[in-house]
A and B are shown apart, each in its own frame.
Chain A
Amino acid sequence: MARGFDDDVILGKAYDGRLMRRMAVFVVPYWRQLALALALLFGAALTEIVPPLLVLQAIDGPISEGRLEGLWPIFALYVLVLVSNFALRYTHNYIINSAGQSVVMDLRKQLFQHLQRLSLSFHDRNPVGRLLTRITNDVDALNEFLTQGLVLILADLVTLLSIIGIMFFLNWRLALISLATLPILMLIVAIYQRMMRATYRLVRERLATINAFLNEQISGVLVTQLFGREVTSQRHFSGLSEAYLQANVRSLLIFAIFMPTVQLMAAIGTAAVLWGGGYGVMSGWASLGMLAAFVLYTERAFQPIRNLAERYTILQAAMASAERVVGVLDTTEEVRDPEQPVTLPQPVRGEIRLENVIFGYDPAEPVLKGINLHIPAGQAVAIVGATGAGKSSLVGLLARFYDVQGGRITLDGVDLRDLRQHELRQHIAAVPQDPVCFSGTIASNIRLHSATIDDARVRWAAEMVNAATFIERLPGGYEHEVRERGANLSLGQRQLLAFARALAFNPEVLLILDEATSSVDTATEALIQDALERMLQDRTSIIIAHRLSTIRHVDRIIVLHQGRVVEDGTHDELLARRGYYHRLYRLQFAEQGLGVAEH
């Protein structure tokens, strides 16, 4: 899915004890399934060494002795072994994958839960794409480690050892002869793996370069065209592609040499068995059937060796992923629930008090420099000020997305930091500046996934904010499908949905970031204004106002300038004072009267 084009994983250690222990926590609950899967796999490995034995039996027994009826039991046993091998392997695959999926699901949920608990300052710093990679790709790499890596390495070892064991058991001299080429084969595989890893890295690097260039060129194609540089770009791209081609041909060359070499080694092995076995047959310490069995065993010993080398890469990738996952799980939240939370006195009234509040995203540069405010329950307040005056920060603090660095904020006399965030936010709702929509239905955008808001309440909220009219015109009405980010809704529609959402949750305190939506037509603007007015009734509301008309609905206006409250009063009082608000008013609002669009 969202695999990046150039997220070239730098592979490091294939085993890290600390990380393994951290990950083990997620595996332990499924140890029974894992143990069963492992047992099944060992069983399967053992059934795989039986067929050559049967061949031996058949040739040395019935076939050499000319007993036709003796072949049937061997055939029956052969089929039985094959069927049980199938059954064992299949059950193993299913069980190990089922355990793997459960582990991954737990891990994914844990990560999701942890990430959403982290403070907004974490989310401000970390792009969504990065979080997505953690939850999807990194977690999948761990699944692969479990299902493809660890267990199969054990199985490969078991297979290899049991083949060697049975060979020695059958005939130690022939075993020595057939295994003579094995160390050389292992060496060749090791060399091949090493060369291939280096070359493969080169291939990936060059591909990443190509893709980075391609991506940039597609993004900047207009500049290239306007400056007539198409040919130069093409030449450069051809050069990069040529380098990639060369790297690929190099890896092809290594592979094309490796494969026949392995074949040659196998042939030498067979020749050795033939020679040694032939000598043995003549000297009487070996039989024809044994010869055939050893040829088959030599073939089978090679597969696990090649597998072991390949699984190493899976381990490395898994460790890198585990490192990143653990990194996220170890990140601590900055805004935390108190050890002993206080509950709000019931009923919640919505009285807010700010005492000497100091805050800055960078503590060295405070945005709010000592704010004192008292907002009685039920009052509607507008906060105005130039860009950067600290308006949005104030809202962020009231919803406790961030914590104050000095002073305190209280709701009904209780410090926000003494409350559980969950409780606080049931009473204070913030309507964000950019009306956020999620994929789902209109109704699910109003109630989110809350179980406490029924259909009637959704409809009521939509009607209150004038959204019902447009919703009912949509095909399917409240069940109309909303696409990702609300792409199939207009800005005005999304704004009204965000309002409806706020009303549906019916908080005692409402924080509204009122974006100056210059691109909304006048009819919609009127509907939004009307909705706003109704929302402000009977509840404490704080609006960051950008519109003149919004200001008219509030009881009180607070003017922020460079992190301080400079003026406080009603619209008329402040205008009469002819101070900062007066100028701000002229700048921000006067032209809306003139009908000139903002830009």
Chain B
Amino acid sequence: MSNLRYLIPYLRRYRWSLLAGLICAAFAASVSALGPYILRLAVDKLATGQLVLTSILGYGVMLIIVALADGVFRFIQRMMLAGVSYRIEYDLRTQLFAHYMRLDQAFFSRNHTGDLMARATNDLSAVRQLLGPGLNGTATAVLTFLAAAVLMLMMNVTLALIVMLLMPVTTVVFVLLGNRMRTAFTRVQDQFGVISTRVQEHFSGIRTIKAYAQEDAELAVFAAENERYRELNLRYVLLSGALWPAMTLCLGIVAALVLLVGGRLVVAGALTIGELVQFNAYLGLLTFPMIMLGWMVSLYQQASASMGRLMEVLRYQPAVVNPPDARPLPSPRGELEFRRVGLRYEEPADHATTALFPERRAEWMLRDLSIHVPAGHSLAIVGATGVGKTTLVNLLSRVRDPDEGQVLLDGIDVRTLDLGDLRRAIGYVPQETFLFSVPLRENVAFGVEGAHDAALDARIEHAVTVSRLANDLAQFPDGLDTMVGERGVTLSGGQKQRVSLARAILRNPPVLVLDDALSSVDTQTAAQILAGLREVMRGRTTVIIAQRIATVREVDQIVVLHDGQIIEQGNHSALLKLGGQYAAMYRRELLEAELSA
């Protein structure tokens, strides 16, 4: 069954507006069918010579009154029917957004932003097109056709049947041509995609092309792709070029037939000249609605496919949700525990496996991993890229859930806690900082609910001081009120990280997670920040992922991850004594410092 059935609840919401619109459409159709009737009365009087000048004026006024009434009804019809289409578009759009906000990271890593955007734009607009112009056009077409049919049948059945049977042929021709055009156009667009990809690839790899002096060969390939595009386009034009001329031809033939048959009827005395004029006028009245009906078919097909894509998203259930009987956590202490945690790789991504002969990728990323951090203590996690450090700390704020084992906060499994409370308890500074296109101040105060007052300003002041963002404020034109992003300043990597840090500090969380959060900050500033943080974090729990040993030296507990296991664990001096990977990393860092000196 068509996906469009999902629209029914939305339509029901606006049933009264829809009803009013349809009633007006019926009135408008009836009234507009009266116009040609008035024309006929006037012509017939003229033909028989019974007319006086004042009564012609009377018919003229009647024509204008009919047009006025028609106009009023059509106005209401449009405002109601098309208005509803915009409202339903609004409802769907906001619902889609709310749903996006609830979905988990697994969903977002599987679906490209471009695709999600396309659903919220192109697909939504296809659905609205059906509800707006589509519904409005169908109502007008069907009702006008009915009204005209009644009046035509009353005059002359033969001529009426000619019009009623031949006019829909136009619709059929439109649909048939339209369907074939769509197939041809899909090919054109596919080829357009090929060209776009070719350009994209070519200029992304321009170094290679230039390095091997392959410009001419590439141009030849590009020219061939373009030639194919041109051919497909011409094949499409062969159909599309015929569409409107064919419409004109079909309608013209009906008009010619009406003239021929009607003329004979007039001569035979079965029809008056006025009635012939009236028939002609109906042809004009029905032209647009008949073509519209043909267009409707393609609108319907597109909207149905688009609604399917929208429902695909709307019916996706996020894996991480607030549990139904969530335990509140009003005042967390910050004791953390990973208990025999196991994590599988996410569904294998499409790209870049690392081995030359990729075996089936090892299923487990981390397994049987246990770490305990008492409240107020600090933990550092080090290890090579891709070993699973970020994924591990992501479990804390339930960006995803473990595949095995448990993660506990204050001894309670995080999956049973109220999601809002849990995330409030954890200040997370992610590896990839994300700033919104709003002023710096709002970026810092992003996680703060409630009023923005002087007390908040003082807290913001404090947060930017600790994160050493304050050092750079003078560089920005409006200090903290400087706009971030395309329409404002572009921040350096280090500055972004410090905004991100200030954002987390401001939340005043009992647990602070820094995922390689100072990687773009220079060593000296990083040291200052860490010193300031120690003050802030006194009595709170800290988890740090770091590439630089300097950042983790003073941490209570350091964990070195390798191949999904903890291979070294202890504090700085203990690990140095061990002389393993941690010690090697440390030596390397010292050397590096020496070299750049």
Known: A2-B196, A131-B199, A518-B385. A279 touches B56 (CB 8 A): yes
Q: Which residues 455-470 of A sit at the B interface, judged by CB distance below 8 A?
A: 470
State the Cβ distance, A102 to closest chain B Cβ, in Å: 7
- How far is it, in angstroms, between the C-alpha of A115 and the C-alpha of B253 when the chains are bound? 53
A281 adjacent to chain B (CB < 8 Å): yes
Q: Are A237 and B94 interface neighbours, CB within 8 A?
A: yes
A10 adjacent to chain B (CB < 8 Å): no
What range describes how many residues of A lie at the interface? Answer: 35 or more
State the Cβ distance, A597 to closest chain B Cβ, in Å: 4
State the Cβ distance, B359 to closest chain A Cβ, in Å: 10
- How far is it, in angstroms, between the C-alpha of A85 and the C-alpha of B247 when the chains are bound? 11
14 contacts between A and B (CB under 8 A): A63-B276, A75-B260, A85-B245, A93-B245, A101-B234, A112-B219, A115-B203, A225-B423, A241-B94, A275-B56, A386-B595, A429-B211, A485-B201, A597-B384
Chain B neighbourhood of A484, CB < 8 A:
197, 201
A259 adjacent to chain B (CB < 8 Å): yes
Q: Are B64 and A583 interface neighbours, CB within 8 A?
A: no
- How far is it, in angstroms, between the C-alpha of A272 and the C-alpha of B108 when the chains are bound? 65
- How far is it, in angstroms, between the C-alpha of A587 and the C-alpha of B592 when the chains are bound? 7
Q: Are B57 and A5 interface neighbours, CB within 8 A?
A: no
- Which of B147-155, B221-229, B369-377 lies on the face that meets chain A? B221-229
Inter-chain pairs besides A85-B252, A583-B595, 11 sampled, C-beta below 8 Å: A51-B255, A68-B267, A109-B219, A217-B97, A229-B446, A267-B64, A271-B64, A274-B60, A274-B63, A594-B584, A597-B385
Q: Are B212 and A228 interface neighbours, CB within 8 A?
A: no
B538-562 Cβ-contact flags toward A at 8 Å (1 or 0): 0000000001000000000000000
Q: Are B204 and A128 interface neighbours, CB within 8 A?
A: yes
- Which of B35-43, B404-412, B469-477, B525-533 lies on the face that meets chain A? B35-43
- How far is it, in angstroms, between the C-alpha of A72 and the C-alpha of B207 when the chains are bound? 73
- How far is it, in angstroms, between the C-alpha of A64 and the C-alpha of B256 when the chains are bound? 17
Chain B neighbourhood of A505, CB < 8 A:
212
- B residues adjacent to A (C-beta < 8 A): 35, 39, 42-43, 46-47, 49, 51, 53, 56-57, 59-61, 63-64, 66-68, 70-72, 74-75, 78-79, 82-83, 86-87, 89-90, 93-94, 97-98, 100-103, 105, 108, 113, 116-117, 120-121, 189, 192-193, 195-197, 199-223, 226-227, 229-230, 233-234, 237-238, 240-242, 244-246, 248-249, 252-253, 255-256, 259-260, 263-264, 266-267, 273, 276-277, 280-281, 284, 350-358, 384-386, 397, 399, 420, 423-424, 426, 428, 430, 434, 436-437, 446-447, 449, 503, 507, 547, 581, 584-585, 588, 591-592, 594-596
Q: Are B53 and A282 interface neighbours, CB within 8 A?
A: yes
Q: Which residues 90-144 of A sit at the B interface, judged by CB distance below 8 A?
A: 90, 93-94, 97-98, 101-102, 104-105, 108-109, 112-113, 115-117, 120, 123, 128, 131-132, 135-136
- How far is it, in angstroms, between the C-alpha of A216 and the C-alpha of B193 when the chains are bound? 26
The chain B residue with its CB closest to the CB of A98 is: B234
Q: Are B71 and A490 interface neighbours, CB within 8 A?
A: no
Q: Are B241 and A90 interface neighbours, CB within 8 A?
A: yes
- How far is it, in angstroms, between the C-alpha of A305 and the C-alpha of B253 when the chains are bound? 25
State the Cβ distance, B203 to closest chain A Cβ, in Å: 5
Q: Are A425 and B210 interface neighbours, CB within 8 A?
A: yes
Pick the contact of B399 from A59, A94, A108, A222 — CB < 8 Å? Answer: A222
The chain B residue with its CB closest to the CB of A437 is: B205
Pick the contact of B75 from A5, A94, A260, A439 — CB < 8 Å? Answer: A260
Q: Are A449 and B385 interface neighbours, CB within 8 A?
A: no
A518-532 Cβ-contact flags toward B at 8 Å (1 or 0): 111101100100000
Q: Which residues 181-213 of A sit at the B interface, judged by CB distance below 8 A?
A: 207, 210-212
Pick the contact of A591 from B353, B357, B588 — CB < 8 Å? Answer: B588
Q: Are B248 and A86 interface neighbours, CB within 8 A?
A: yes
State the Cβ distance, B415 to closest chain A Cβ, in Å: 16
Q: Are B103 and A221 interface neighbours, CB within 8 A?
A: yes
Q: Are A291 and B43 interface neighbours, CB within 8 A?
A: yes
Q: Are A490 and B113 interface neighbours, CB within 8 A?
A: no
Q: Are A117 and B215 interface neighbours, CB within 8 A?
A: yes
Chain B neighbourhood of A386, CB < 8 A:
595-596
- Which of A245-253, A316-324, A367-375 lies on the face that meets chain B? A245-253
Q: Are A260 and B266 interface neighbours, CB within 8 A?
A: no
A61-96 Cβ-contact flags toward B at 8 Å (1 or 0): 011101110011011001100110110011001100
Known: A426-B213, A432-B208. A263 touches B70 (CB 8 A): yes
Q: Are B189 and A1 interface neighbours, CB within 8 A?
A: yes
A214 adjacent to chain B (CB < 8 Å): yes
The number of residue pairs between A and B whose CB atoms lie closer than 8 Å in the complex comes to 423
Q: Are B59 and A274 interface neighbours, CB within 8 A?
A: yes
State the Cβ distance, A180 to closest chain B Cβ, in Å: 13
Q: Are A222 and B199 interface neighbours, CB within 8 A?
A: no
- How far is it, in angstroms, between the C-alpha of A429 and the C-alpha of B276 when the chains are bound? 82
Pick the contact of A267 from B51, B66, B89 — CB < 8 Å? Answer: B66
Q: Are A521 and B356 interface neighbours, CB within 8 A?
A: yes
The chain A residue with its CB closest to the CB of B238 is: A94
A421 adjacent to chain B (CB < 8 Å): yes
State the Cβ distance, B112 to closest chain A Cβ, in Å: 10
A575-586 Cβ-contact flags toward B at 8 Å (1 or 0): 000000001101
The chain A residue with its CB closest to the CB of B80 is: A256
Q: Are B219 and A421 interface neighbours, CB within 8 A?
A: no
Chain A neighbourhood of B70, CB < 8 A:
260, 263
Q: Are A62 and B354 interface neighbours, CB within 8 A?
A: no
Q: Are A71 and B263 interface neighbours, CB within 8 A?
A: yes
- How far is it, in angstroms, between the C-alpha of A576 and the C-alpha of B39 when the chains are bound? 110
Pick the contact of A227 from B71, B103, B507 — CB < 8 Å? Answer: B507
Known: A94-B237, A587-B592. A123 touches B74 (CB 8 A): no
Interface centre among B66, B208, B547 (most CB of A within 10 A): B208
A430 adjacent to chain B (CB < 8 Å): yes
- How far is it, in angstroms, between the C-alpha of A554 and the C-alpha of B351 when the chains are bound? 33
A1-44 Cβ-contact flags toward B at 8 Å (1 or 0): 11001000000000000000000000000000000000000000
The chain A residue with its CB closest to the CB of B503 is: A227
- Which of A156-164, A491-499, A535-543 lies on the face that meets chain B? A491-499
- How far is it, in angstroms, between the C-alpha of A25 and the C-alpha of B158 when the chains are bound? 59
- How far is it, in angstroms, between the C-alpha of A227 and the C-alpha of B435 when the chains are bound? 13
State the Cβ distance, B413 to closest chain A Cβ, in Å: 19
Known: A89-B244, A386-B596. A79 touches B256 (CB 8 A): yes
Chain B neighbourhood of A179, CB < 8 A:
none
Chain A neighbourhood of B43, CB < 8 A:
288, 291-292
- How far is it, in angstroms, between the C-alpha of A521 and the C-alpha of B352 when the chains are bound? 13
Q: Are A520 and B354 interface neighbours, CB within 8 A?
A: yes
Pick the contact of B214 from A79, A255, A261, A448 — CB < 8 Å? Answer: A448
The chain B residue with its CB closest to the CB of A256 is: B78
Q: Are A449 and B218 interface neighbours, CB within 8 A?
A: yes
Chain A neighbourhood of B101, CB < 8 A:
217, 221, 224-225, 230, 233-234
State the Cβ distance, A91 to closest chain B Cβ, in Å: 8
- How far is it, in angstroms, between the C-alpha of A596 and the C-alpha of B209 when the chains are bound? 36
The chain B residue with its CB closest to the CB of A123 is: B206
Q: Are B246 and A86 interface neighbours, CB within 8 A?
A: yes
Pick the contact of B199 from A72, A117, A136, A473 — CB < 8 Å? Answer: A136
Known: A485-B204, A524-B355. A90 touches B245 (CB 8 A): yes
The chain A residue with its CB closest to the CB of B35 is: A267
The 6 closest A-B pairs by CB, nearest first: A260-B71, A93-B241, A267-B67, A271-B60, A227-B447, A449-B217
Q: Are B78 and A596 interface neighbours, CB within 8 A?
A: no
Chain A neighbourhood of B428, CB < 8 A:
226
Known: A51-B252, A109-B219. A399 touches B267 (CB 8 A): no
A174 adjacent to chain B (CB < 8 Å): no
Q: Are B253 and A79 interface neighbours, CB within 8 A?
A: yes
Q: Are B75 and A116 interface neighbours, CB within 8 A?
A: no
The chain B residue with its CB closest to the CB of A66 is: B267
Chain A neighbourhood of B86, CB < 8 A:
245, 248-249, 252
- How far is it, in angstroms, between the C-alpha of A292 and the C-alpha of B39 when the chains are bound? 10
